[in-house]
Structures are given as structure tokens and as C-alpha cells.
Amino acid sequence: MAKMIHGNALDFNNQSEKRFFELLRHSPATAAWTVIYSHKTVTGGERETDFVAMIPELGLVAIELKAAELSYNSRMAGFKYARGGFISLRDVLVAAKKKERHLRELLLKRCGNVFSGEISVFLNVRQADLRHLPDSPSLYIASDCRYQDIPALIAAKALEQKAAVTQAHRMSFVKWKEGDISAFARYLKGEFIEEEGNICRNYQENNWKSNASALGITYNMISTMPRLLLRGPAGTGKTGLLLRRARELDRNNDTLVLCYNKLLAGTLKSELAKCGRTDVWCLEDHLREVCGAPWNADEDIGPLLRDKLPAAALEKLKKKKPAYDVLLVDEFQDFMRQGWLDVLDASVKGGLAGGKAWLFADFSVASMAESDVHPGDFLKKYGFKDGLVNLRVNYRNATEIAAVVEYIAGSSNKRVLYDRAVNLCDLPIEVVAYADDDEQADLVNNSVSDLMGEGYCYQPSDIAVLSAHRASESALGASLREDIAFNSIHAVKGMEAKVVLITDLHEGTPLRPDPRVLLYLGASRAMFKLMFFVHKDFYQKFLKITGLS
């Protein structure tokens, strides 16, 4: 079997390339070959090369597949390389960009005289056309040729090219030295294949404008509505719409922006730093700010946040007029407890039933597990039925990740609603089993090293490791690199990362009573790549919950 080197996003331009890839991989004739596959534009940007084969005793051969139907230009293509059909490897190496100088010099010194050729392979050529084709470096495969014979024909054509160049230019090519093929493979991979991390970064940079434009259209359709409840699953642009709304309102309104968790509040504050009439708080900090008095730091935050703080804040708010013209709430599903709703109601002029408010919520089964107010009851009490907006296009998650998130949530949304998301990774989702904390730490750290290494090239800022535990209670945090973000799943609601590793998934606390809550929240943070680290005692149950196999 040939050694095949390809981009992690193995995306074939057509079925012919896919079939040819499998032929080169499995043919006995290619057993000693090393083959790079990519549809990236070759250095210089003149054409696309489908395959580059490093063949012992022969040299380097670029292979380009051509359509079976031969146009006039296709018939004449062979004359372009009539002088011998070879690319000067020396020119390629000298012109290469973003490569260390010592590597170029090493390859020029050791491998500069290795033969390099190019063959255009025309598949399924009719016998009638074969009689009229010029004798050239191109390889014309008759429609009745056995497909498994093609690699041998390529090698024979390359030898023919090599002999022609040797005779015409009086060149003598050296044979591969030990290690040359692996050196070429490492070098050419960077020339012909983009690393996965770069692919994801480029996609994000090139698509944010189109995503922003699509969200802009949505915003313009609803911007005149003073009261809205915007519902949508993770990744549908809720936070982006909130930020745009807050910036627009800041010119003429005192606005209160709320969310549940502190990390998201920090991000929103940073984004809205220039909005002088807008206050941004997480729920806990807003309650403490209203109360105006410190609380015992040792007191259990759970009962404090559920009962004491909202009761005290509400008592204070009832004694004065609301300070805010508009209320904007992100992750509103986390506020669906009556005590907290009462505080919101008293915070904005006109209250929740009549005031100006945009509420952004994900009312999936998973994210609503801890609420005590049903969305239907909220609508009846506060009257948002005439201002319902459903957001259904996923702008964040790759297709497979979005599908898993949907499955975990038990959503009835059709998968076509995620048509703006794409898979850029060969393995968008991976499940890794571990037996104990030490093994998990080794597996996670090895995965992080791999993600930042050759073939992936993610940056530390691209990766987030999320624990099902509180971060302070996980044994994993101390073993990770300091530049890798590590936190609990709950702490990163509303946030996102290109690569997310979800850890500490095992039977029992904190996954009870419903593991879907954390799995939904964690999985939906991942933009392009998602890894689960699952204890063996929870493995089968995990597969059933996520629908993965």
C-alpha cells in the first residue's frame, strides 16, 4: 500500500479524483510510492496539481487528471512540455515562500538533481480520438484499458520522460538517497496542502463578512420591533444580533445588557466598551450591584443566587423607578426562574409585559433542564407572542457537530437548517475512551500536542479544554499547558472555539440527573473540531445520548 499524504479535510473535487486516490493507495504497483493529494493551487498559481508521487529509482512526478472529453486545447496540451515534460525542481525550491532557508539549501544540495516530471492523465479516451493525439508527455488512457494497469503506465511514461530529458539536455539525474523521499514529503506537503488549522482560520476570515451580511438582513427585518423573543439553537447568531442592537440603541437609550455567566459578560463588556449608555452585567453581578451590599464570601452561591439575592434586589428595585429604557438578555433560557424574572421585570421601564426588551433564548430540552418556568407560561404572562422570531441557520458549528448537538438536544429541526456550516476537518468529531485520570491527562495532552503539530497547526488560542466538573475540581487543569484555555463547560456558555476538547465525562456527578445538559452546552461551543474524552464506565451510555458510533 502506498503512503498517502493528504490534507485533513479530504475533499475531492470529483468522483474521478476520489477513485484515482484509492487506486494509487491500494495498487501493488504503487507499494513503494509516497503520494501527496491536494487540489490546492501549485506554487506560482498557474494550475492545480491533483497528485504528486515520489517514486524510488525514478524521481518526483506530478500527476494531473484531465476530463475524458478532449477539446482542441486538451489535444495540444502535451506540446507545452514537449522539451521533456519536467518541472525544474531547483526553480520550485528557490521560489518557495515561507520556508526556512536551511531547508531549501539542504534539499537543493541533496536532491537538486532528482528527476521531476509532470504527466497529464486523460481518462477514458475513445479509440477514435487516440489515433489523432500527438506524441507528448501526456498519458491517454483508452476507455477499454484496465483501471488497475494505470499506475504502471504512469511509471512507464515517467521513465520515458526522464530518458527524453536526459538525451535532449544531456542531464544526469541522481537517485534518491536514504531519507530523500521523507524530506520531499515534508517539504512538498507545505507547498501543496494547507494545514487544517490554517484552513479553518482562512475559512473564518473569508466567511465572517458573508455571515455578518446574512445576519444583517435578519436584523434589518426585525429592527423596528421594540419587543422580541428570539429563539434559536446554539450557533444561530443570537449574540451577534444582541451586540448590533445594543450599539444601535446606545445613541438614545439607557440600556441594560444581561447574561448568565461571567466569561460571556466580560466578552460583551469588551465589545460594547464604547457604548457609554449601556451597562453590561452577568446575573450575579447585577443582583449584587442592585443590592449595594457585600455578601459573605463563604456562603453557598447556589441558594444565595436563587433566593436571597433576587429577593433583596427586588425589594430595592420596587422602591424606585426603573433606570433602563431597554433590556437585552443573552442566553435568556438561563433566567427562567420566577425570582429572576421578577428582577428583570422591575429593571426596565414598562416591565417585561410592556417595556422595550429583546430576549435571546435557546429553549432546547437540554438547556432548559434546570428552569422552573415553562416558555409557554412565560409567553402567556408577559405577552411576547406577537414578537416571536425563530433563528434556524447555524453560523458556528461544522455540519457534523451541528447534527450531534441537534441529536443531543432532541430537536425536531431539519438538518437542512444548518446549510451554512461546513466540514473542514477529516475527523470533525472524535471520541476517546480512558480508564482513569492519569490516562485521560496523557491522552488530552497528547491530543493538544498533535493539534498544534504538523498536519494541524492550530494555535493555542484556537483550542479550549472544557471539563464537566468545575475547573477547580478537575485533576486535569494542572497538567495542561498554561497557554491552553481550560474551564468548566458551564462557565463558557455563549462562547466558542475552533477546537473543543470535552473532558471528565464519566458516570455520576456532575452528569446527573441529565447528561444532555452539559453535553449540549459543551459540544455546541466547537466551531470546526470536537473531541470527547469519555470514561469507559460511561462510554456506551454516551454513544446512545449523542448518536455517535
| E strand or H helix at 165 | helix 150-169
Residue 404 within any structural domain of the chain: no
Residue that terminates a domain, selected from 368, 390, 412: 390
pLDDT digits (tens, 9 = 90+) for 498-528: 999 999 999 876 665 678 888 998 999 999 9
Q: Would strands 51-55 and 59-66 be described as parallel, antiparallel, or unpaired?
A: antiparallel
Residue 328 within any structural domain of the chain: yes
Kindly state whether residues 36 and 113 are assigned to the same domain.
yes
Residue that terminates a domain, selected from 193, 208, 243: 193
Kindly state whether residues 118 and 244 are assigned to the same domain.
no
Range list of H helices, 372-455: 375-382, 399-409, 437-451
Provide the number of structural domains found in the chain. 3
Lowest average pLDDT, out of 95-99, 133-137, 296-300, goes to: 95-99
pLDDT digits (tens, 9 = 90+) for 384-426: 888 899 998 888 888 888 888 888 887 644 443 444 556 677 6
What are the DSSP E strand ranges found in 435-537?
Answer: 463-467, 485-488, 497-505, 526-535
Taking the C-alpha atoms of residue 156 and residue 162, their distance in angstroms, rounded to an integer, is: 10
Contact 393, 214 (CB under 8 A): yes
Residue type at 117? G
- pTM of the full predicted structure? 0.69
Kindly state whether residues 123 and 56 are assigned to the same domain.
yes
Q: Residue range 491-498: average pLDDT?
A: 86
Kindly state whether residues 441 and 315 are assigned to the same domain.
no
Kindly state whether residues 54 and 182 are assigned to the same domain.
yes
**What CATH number has the domain bearing residue 501?**
3.40.50.300
Kindly state whether residues 377 and 312 are assigned to the same domain.
yes
Taking the C-alpha atoms of residue 461 and residue 516, their distance in angstroms, rounded to an integer, is: 27
Kindly state whether residues 69 and 143 are assigned to the same domain.
yes
2 Cβ contact partners less than 8 Å away, ≥ 6 residues apart: 24, 25, 26, 27, 30, 31, 32, 33, 34, 35
Question: How much is the pLDDT for 1?
Answer: 78
Q: Which three cell numbers stand for residue 404?
A: 450531534
Residue 523 within any structural domain of the chain: yes
Kindly state whether residues 285 and 139 are assigned to the same domain.
no
Place of cell 498557474: 46
Q: Is the pLDDT of residue 35 over 50?
A: yes
Range of the domain at 107: 3-193
pLDDT digits (tens, 9 = 90+) for 328-344: 999 999 899 999 999 99
Return phi, psi of residue 280, to 5°. -120, 125
Instruction: Report the interhelical angle of 180-192 vs 101-111 (nearest 10°).
Output: 130
Q: Is the pLDDT of residue 73 over 60?
A: no
Instruction: Report the interhelical angle of 150-169 vs 15-26 (nearest 10°).
Output: 80
Residue 73 within any structural domain of the chain: yes
Q: What DSSP letter does each residue of 204-237 carry, written as one string?
A: HHHHHHHHHHHHHHHHHHHTT-SEEEEE--TTSS
Q: Is the pLDDT of residue 299 over 80?
A: no
Kindly state whether residues 250 and 127 are assigned to the same domain.
no
Residue 206 within any structural domain of the chain: no
Average pLDDT value for the chain: 80
Which residues make beta-bridge pairs with 486?
465
Residue 216 within any structural domain of the chain: no
Q: Residue range 146-162: average pLDDT?
A: 89
Contact 331, 337 (CB under 8 A): no
Residue that terminates a domain, selected from 151, 169, 193: 193
Kindly state whether residues 158 and 238 are assigned to the same domain.
no
Residue 209 within any structural domain of the chain: no
Contact 143, 126 (CB under 8 A): yes
Per-state percent for the chain, helix, strand, coil, to nearest 5 = 45, 20, 35
Taking the C-alpha atoms of residue 164 and residue 167, their distance in angstroms, rounded to an integer, is: 5
Q: Which three cell numbers stand for residue 206?
A: 473569508
Is 507 or 227 the better-scoring residue by pLDDT?
A: 227
Q: Is the pLDDT of residue 83 over 70?
A: no
pLDDT digits (tens, 9 = 90+) for 129-143: 665 555 556 787 877
Least Cα distance to 424 among 198, 185, 188 occurs for 198
Instruction: Report the interhelical angle of 539-546 vs 516-523 (nearest 10°).
Output: 70
Kindly state whether residues 386 and 426 are assigned to the same domain.
no
Taking the C-alpha atoms of residue 488 and residue 444, their distance in angstroms, rounded to an integer, is: 15
Kindly state whether residues 16 and 163 are assigned to the same domain.
yes
Taking the C-alpha atoms of residue 383 and residue 353, their distance in angstroms, rounded to an integer, is: 6
Residue 335 within any structural domain of the chain: yes
* CA distances in angstroms from 197 to 104, 460, 524, listed in the order given: 24, 11, 19
